[in-house]
A and B are shown apart, each in its own frame.
Chain A
Amino acid sequence: MNSIEEKLWNYLDGTCSPEEHEEISRLITTDQTYQQKYQELLAFNQELESMELDAPPIAFTYNVMEAIRTEEASKPLKASIDHRIIQAIAAFFIGTIAILLMIALTGNHAENVHATVQIPVKVQLPTLTGYFSGPVLKGFLFFDVVLALFLFDGYLRKKHTVVL
């Protein structure tokens, strides 16, 4: 199947086996047709090697870097926030809510605990029991539940979009 031209290109490109290389070298020196074709392809090959590359505009690198800088700057803030910070804040709030719930649920038992701590007379401690019972606590818990449902809804929507 190999034509003379194909064999000679393999020879010029260095893609033939050592045996083929030796055989073609011999043919180039002995066979007139091979010699003529080889000279022709060699000249053509040299022309291709000396072909010139096109030069881009002078400001090309600047334009590329400017486009990259613009793209970086326009990235949404959401993408550049460290997720660990978000997780730490979430953990803090979840912890706080959990502790508040525990206090609220075990409030009756806590009343039976008698602790003797000597507090200076002038120091007035705020009465916390008012905050952990009644409408304030209920309102706080209701707000937390609504917020949790809202976040859960957002999470499910995001997950659904990724699957699609």
Chain B
Amino acid sequence: MQSKFSDIELIEQTLQGNQAAYADLVKRHQRFVFTLAMRFTKTREDAEEVAQDSFIKAYRSLQSFQGQSKFSTWLYSIVYTTAMTFLRKRRLDTSSIDDANNHLQLENQSGGFKNDLAENKSRSYYVNQAIEQLMPDDAMIITLFYKGEQSLEEIAVTLGLEPNNVKVKLFRARQRLKEKLERNLKHEVSELI
């Protein structure tokens, strides 16, 4: 059950030492934070790690939250930096086996297309699939705009960019997503025929 208190009220309660209030905040935002983490990491295990780290970091620096922006905007900027740090670390750790991994991923992807042919997939499935194929930044902008209830200005704060820059990036991200969606659908149709 969702808490009846606003984000700000829950933050105040948390700062007074009520940890249950922070648990309510986590419950309220966990789905979106986890989705954002998934846009970067692509696997559920890693996304869980990034999302968990983000909530812990947010808890640690809750006192520095000024309340000038929405709590969600502040939290998403933490998710963004945590995910970027995670990716950078992951790249360093796995640089030597990157090529092998990429090949495996491509093979799995094409295998997945064939295996899923018999399933009756919703349009939403294809949209999510196409988003997964986007670059993390593109996927994040689209998710923040459509599901995060974030304005262009708020997304700019989260990503540390200018609002006009975000507008251009959103336009390009949607174009790329549309192309991928069309290509995936065409591929499915040709496989079925």
Chain A residues near B (Cβ < 8 Å): 5-6, 9, 13, 15, 44, 47-57, 60-61, 63-65, 67-69, 71
Contact = CB atoms under 8 A, between A and B. Distances in A.
B31 A6 contact: no
A9 B167 CA distance: 10
A47 B35 CA distance: 17
B152 interface: yes
Interface string B129-167: 001000000000011001100001000000000000001
Nearest to B131: A51
Interface stretch (B47-55, B66-74, B89-97, B108-116): B47-55
A69 B167 contact: no
A47 to B, nearest CB: 5
A47 B171 contact: no
B34 interface: yes
Interface of B: 19, 22-23, 26-27, 30-32, 34-35, 38, 44, 47-48, 51-52, 55-56, 59, 123-124, 127-128, 131, 142-143, 146-147, 152, 167, 171, 174-175, 177-178, 181
B34 A64 contact: no
B48 A56 contact: yes
Contact of A51 (B48, B124, B152): B124
A29 B51 CA distance: 46
Given A54-B38, A54-B47, A60-B51, 19 more contacts: A47-B124, A47-B127, A48-B146, A49-B146, A50-B124, A51-B128, A51-B143, A53-B34, A54-B31, A54-B35, A55-B31, A56-B34, A60-B30, A60-B52, A61-B23, A61-B26, A64-B23, A65-B19, A65-B22
A6 B164 CA distance: 13
Contact of B167 (A15, A47, A50, A71): A15
Contacts of B52: 60, 63-64, 67
